[in-house]
């Protein structure tokens, strides 16, 4: 069980909260201590819109412990509209055919089961096709 580290990452996982660099205004996700664009100190929180498009995707047929319940699942690199790219599962795909370039939006879903049946359920961001 890894309760402290999941608790620490709540805002990033639930709200897609990263940072905006106070020096060069670069949007940063995940948060880090030094801006990758200008090298200045990064610390100001920024909530991303959750809108983006698929840069690449693959289908997982084998999963690490804690992820088996979702098999098979599609995982993608999602390029956020504000700039950064994130790794996340795709969900609510229905009959949609996944394609590179497809617009997606963030939703909060169950990500992983930590430990046995009494263990913690970890929630966080996934992405689904943009409706309509």
- With 0-12 / 13-18 / 19 or more C-beta atoms within 10 angstroms meaning exposed / middle / buried, residue 99 is exposed
Instruction: Tell me which of 64, 94, 116, 117 binds other proteins, using CB under 8 A.
Output: 64
Cis peptide before 72 (omega within 30 of 0): yes
Count of chain residues binding other proteins (CB under 8 A): 34
Beta partners for residue 113, in sequence order: 121
Of 19-27, 38-46, 85-93, the window that binds other proteins (rule: CB under 8 A) is 85-93
Smaller CB separation from other proteins, 2 or 132: 2
Q: Is 67 in the site for other proteins (CB under 8 A)?
A: yes
How many other CB atoms are there within 10 angstroms of residue 8's CB atom? 11
Q: Is 58 in the site for other proteins (CB under 8 A)?
A: yes
Q: Is 123 in the site for other proteins (CB under 8 A)?
A: no
How many other CB atoms are there within 10 angstroms of residue 54's CB atom? 20
Residue 103 to residues 60, 84, 106, 131, Cα–Cα distance (Å):
21, 15, 11, 9
Q: Is 62 in the site for other proteins (CB under 8 A)?
A: yes
Instruction: Tell me which of 5, 94, 95, 117 binds other proteins, using CB under 8 A.
Output: 5
User: 60's torsion region: left (phi>0), alpha (psi -120 to 50) or beta?
Assistant: beta
Contact mark string toward other proteins, 12..31, x via CB under 8 A? ------------------x-
Contacts with other proteins by CB under 8 A lie at 5, 9, 30, 36, 55-68, 70, 73, 75-77, 84-89, 100, 111-112, 122, 124
């Amino acid at each position: 069980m890894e309760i402290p580290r999941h608790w620490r990452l709540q805002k990033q996982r639930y709200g897609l909260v990263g940072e905006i660099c106070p020096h060069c205004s670069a949007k940063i996700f995940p948060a880090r201590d030094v801006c990758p664009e200008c090298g200045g100190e990064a610390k100001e929180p920024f909530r991303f819109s959750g809108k983006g498009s698929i840069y690449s995707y693959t289908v997982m047929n084998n999963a690490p412990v804690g992820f088996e319940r979702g098999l098979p699942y599609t995982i993608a690199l999602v390029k956020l509209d504000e700039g950064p790219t994130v790794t996340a599962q795709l969900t609510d795909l229905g009959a949609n055919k996944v394609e590179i370039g497809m617009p997606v939006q963030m939703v909060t879903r169950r990500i992983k089961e930590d430990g046995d049946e009494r263990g913690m359920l970890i929630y966080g961001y996934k992405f689904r096709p943009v409706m309509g």
